[in-house]
Structures are given as C-alpha cells and as structure tokens.
Structure 1
C-alpha cells in the first residue's frame, strides 16, 4: 500500500534522493482538447511522475496536491 505524505510536512529525503521543487509543468493549455484526450494526458502526467519517483526523485508537491492541480488545469 502506498501512503500519501501529509501536505503540511516537507517530504522526507531518502539517502541520495533529489527533491524536485518545481516549477511544475502546466496542463492548462490542453483544456480545449476533447475530454478523452484530457484523460489521456492526465494518465500520462501520473505515469511521468511515477517514473521520476521510481528513479529516486522526490517531489516537494505532495501527490494529493499534484492530482488536485492537474485535474483543475485539465478541467476533469
């Protein structure tokens, strides 16, 4: 089970991990696309973040904040 860090706490740094503080990519430019394509972009954004985390990178933006931001930018 994967836990989601509290948005009120700074991410804990693993030995040798690099914390990414942003700037974060914006998806708001894709709002005009059909809904299906926006859902594909949402899946791609999640997969890209997971790939970065799999490489040992740690995001300062919590997963919940990430999901909230991306869904708002894509209006889904």
Structure 2
C-alpha cells in the first residue's frame, strides 16, 4: 500500500503551530481485513500523539478524530 501524503495547512497561533488539515482519509482501505484495519487505526492514533508530543496543536478535536477514523475504517 502506498502511503498518502496530504498537504497540511500550518498556522502560527500564540507560538504554537496548529495543524488544520486536510487529514489523511482511511476510507479507501476499509476493504482490508479487520485485523489490518485495527493496526492502521492504532498507527493513526500514534501519529497524532507524536504530533501532539512535538507541541503541534491539532485543530481536529480528538473525539472527532476517533469518530472519523473508525467510520472510515468501518470499525
């Protein structure tokens, strides 16, 4: 599978960089077996956490992120 790289809009706000998207879409891979989709979900969460650990502010609320990714992966 080829990773998709989407241009992300970066904005400066009060010294923190806010990442506003567009976000990676996972809907094109929802046909994969469930185990692989759960693995990709865990990778998506780890990627978001890595951004937050680097002091990036993510514009998409965490609950919206979880809802979107689980729907796109049909989990």
TM-score exceeds 0.5: yes
Q: How many angstroms apart in 2 are the aligned matches of 1:15 and 1:60? A: 14
Root-mean-square deviation (Å): 1.5
Which structure has more relative contact order (CA 8 Å, sep 6+)? It is 1
TM-score (norm 2): 0.80
Q: Say which SS state the counterpart of residue 58 (structure 1) adopts.
A: strand
As a proportion of its length, which structure holds more strand?
2
- List 4+ stretches of structure 1 deviating above 6 A: none
TM-score (norm 1): 0.79
Gaps of 5+ in 1: 1-12
Gaps of 5+ in 2: 1-11
Q: How many angstroms apart in 2 are the aligned matches of 1:17 and 1:70? A: 25
